[in-house]
Amino acid sequence: MARVFITGSSDGLGLMAAQLLVETGHAVVLHARNRQRAEDTKRKLAGAEAVVTGDLASLAETQALAEQVNRLGRCDAVIHNAGVGLHERLVRTAEGVPHVFAINVLAPYVLTALVERPKRLVYLSSGMHRGADSSLGDLDWRKRRWQGSAAYSESKLCDVLLAFGVARRWPGVFSNAVNPGWVATKMGGPGAPDSPDDGRRTQAWLAVSDDAEARVSGKYFRKQRPQAHDPAADDRARQDKLLELCQRFSGVALGGA
């Protein structure tokens, strides 16, 4: 049995993956944005071990969330599932970064740095990461006119860079990115063509499976198979630049091997 922490698991793919893991005998720590949503989440999945709370748009709450997880004990895997989509308007956090970047990239980075190191890390990306601006020159959107879809795509490229950069820094950890597909969730909308089951199975499989195909690192998966990703994500200098920028924005350092 593995213990798995899943961010953004009060609904959508995060909750679906949690349900699958609980059904197959694993211990799951859920995450909700606030206490009210946490109470609702407990009712949705009574078999979960615990529900922790924290708004990932807030650096302080994200740091406190890491402390809550650590108090529960070491997790075998963390699935960084939480995210916001491509139709968001520009809202800046207390740190001055767009909340799309804060939730989709900075929060996974901070939790990776502060939660006791697990055996496996799974970062949810998107097929929309391909072709995104890979310069990392304006992640806080100070120089450009805001475009929600571009900010989302850029954040999903950053998630692949984060997964690959951590894979390099922590060779003892399996760190991978997942494209769950365009699925019919609150974010994806009712007309999405892909099966939610495929999305949830891939992230759960990477988190707990003993299959040799799942015990790898620095890969990008869809439907439990490695998939081609934007070549920009393989650039080690770009990976390191993202980690440096995340440290600058958050004040939190990511340790080495």
Residue 152 among the catalytic residues: yes
Q: Where are the alpha helices (DSSP H) in the chain?
A: 12-23, 35-44, 59-72, 99-101, 107-114, 148-169, 196-208, 236-250
- Catalytic hit among 109, 119, 143, 156: 156
SS3 28: strand
CA distances from 70 to 41, 102, 180 (A): 20, 21, 27
Q: Which helix (H) or strand (E) holds 80?
A: strand 77-80
- Catalytic hit among 42, 44, 109, 152: 152
- How far apart (Å, rounded) are the C-alpha atoms in residues 46 and 233? 38
Residue 156 among the catalytic residues: yes
Q: Which helix (H) or strand (E) holds 32?
A: strand 27-32
Instruction: Give the CA angle between residues 245, 249, 255 to the nearest 5°.
Output: 65
Q: Could you give the residue numbers annotated as active site?
A: 152, 156
